[in-house]
Amino acid sequence: MYSHNSLTFTIHPGGSLCGVIRTPGDKSISHRAIMLGSLAEGESRVTGFLEGEDSLATLAAFRAMGVTIARPATGEVVIQGVGMHGLHAPAEPLDVGNSGTSMRLLAGLLAGQGFAVTLTGDASLSKRPMRRVIEPLTQMGARIESEAGGSAPLRILPTAHLVGIDYRLPVASAQVKSALLLAGLYAEGETAVTEPAPTRDHTERMLLGMGYPLERAEGRVALRGGGRLQGGSLAVPADISSAAFFLVGATIAADSDLTLEHVGINPTRVGVIHILRAMGADITLLNLREVSGEPVADLRVRSAPLRGIVIPEEQVPLAIDEFPAIFVAAACAEGETLLTGAEELRVKESDRIQVMADGLALLGIDVEPRSDGIRIRGGKIGSGRVESHGDHRIAMAFAMAGLRASGAITIGDCANVNTSFPGFATLAAGCGLAIEATTEGAA
């Protein structure tokens, strides 16, 4: 296994992406499967589980709290649920690594457990904003201590009881919504969340699938505490966030014809498809079906010329994790692409607006970062070394840029690709990307 901050990608120019591939399981759904399966009664069998570092951090956290979780085969997890009140205080702080989803959702889930627990993470996660979760949970009666500014580590203290609240999200965030709903499982009365724009609804779908009643109306979801979850089978689809890099790569590389199998197309996650199609991408959805309550399809993508667009702000929350890849598409498009309303990108694993702007500018693209977005004028991608700043999505986005580069692109600090996409370099090379993965200083 590569040590962190040592993995480098080198992409040689040219090539096409062809064939049939399956990207790893959905990270968001994998997290939630471990969490809700652990709180359920009976056994839950998960297939398609993402064995990346983020999801495995969640798995390790629940093992540390007394849940028996087996991994009998690659992508398969068997959870022996302990019920809503069966978790035990861990002997040590729970280290969730680079996973903001783990930390924010666990903050909600653990707020009503009745024991003290500390959540820690790596240096990157320790800089990310947690106040957006701490403040509404505190309104419910949670006792959460943090570092100055509301950052991790978070210490969650026992509380007598939680009380449901009716909370209106100031900024669309599936993680905050999910944290409040998970806390609401343990709260007196009703917990309701209203969001300003649609965000991913995997938590709601999984709760309903495991027998927990909730109410959903336009932009609002509500549940009452005191219910039960029932274990069962759950198939995790391939992650559209991981598929996005290949959607962009096959679009910008000449003579490409690539099919991505079994991709989740939850309507709260398909902004990347809408945006790329608006730019001219040739993406066809095949074999549409539903698996474990989630819509799934095979995505066929072929080479197509792209044009710059003004990205509709209503699509931003539906594509928030895919913008590094979309920025590469914009760099290859004719004309100008403008993104606004995406302040959230500045507080991800890196400041994705600034880091992508710096890298694209180094490669010769005319780019203007803004406080809530970016302007990109398409052009010829050059060569050089860019830094991912430990952000998995930045690294994979620049890897796809190599398909249209005039020379080699070297990408530093790529080890965190394993948080969401273990085996990325091997899979990408297998369908036509000229990629080398090396450790710094290796012979």
- List, for residues 322-370, the tens digit of each pLDDT value: 999 999 999 999 999 999 999 999 988 899 999 999 999 999 999 999 9
| Fold match between domain 7-25+237-439 and domain 27-235 | yes
Report the half-sphere exposure of 314 (CA within 13 A, side-chain side): 2
Q: Would you kindly state where each structural domain of the chain is located, as residue ranges?
A: 7-25+237-439, 27-235
The DSSP line for 96-144 is -TT-HHHHHHHHHHHTTSSS-EEEE--TTGGGS--HHHHHHHHHTT-EE
Confirm if 64 and 88 have CB atoms less than 8 A apart: no
pLDDT of residue 6: 83
What distance in Å separates the CA atoms of residue 273 and residue 270, rounded to the nearest whole number? 5
The single-letter code of the amino acid at 21 is I
Cβ-based neighbours of 167, under 8 Å, separated by 6 or more: 136, 139, 180, 191, 192, 193, 194
The CATH architecture annotation of domain 7-25+237-439 reads Alpha-beta prism (3.65)
Check 26, 321, 391, 413 and give the catalytic one: 321
pLDDT of residue 441: 55
CB-based burial, 308-341: b 16+ in 10 Å, e otherwise = bbebeeebbbbbbbbbbbbbbbbbbbeebbbbbb
Q: Which residues in the chain land under pLDDT 70?
A: 1-5, 440-443
413 is catalytic: no
Task: State the burial class of residue 189 (Cβ atoms within 10 Å of its Cβ: 0-12, 13-18, 19+).
Answer: middle
Cβ-based neighbours of 411, under 8 Å, separated by 6 or more: 8, 9, 10, 11, 385, 386, 387, 388, 395, 398, 399
pLDDT of residue 163: 98
Enter the CATH code of domain 27-235: 3.65.10.10
The single-letter code of the amino acid at 299 is L
Query: Within 10 A of 160 (CB to CB), how many other CB atoms are there?
Result: 7
The pTM of the full predicted model, rounded to 2 decimals, is 0.90
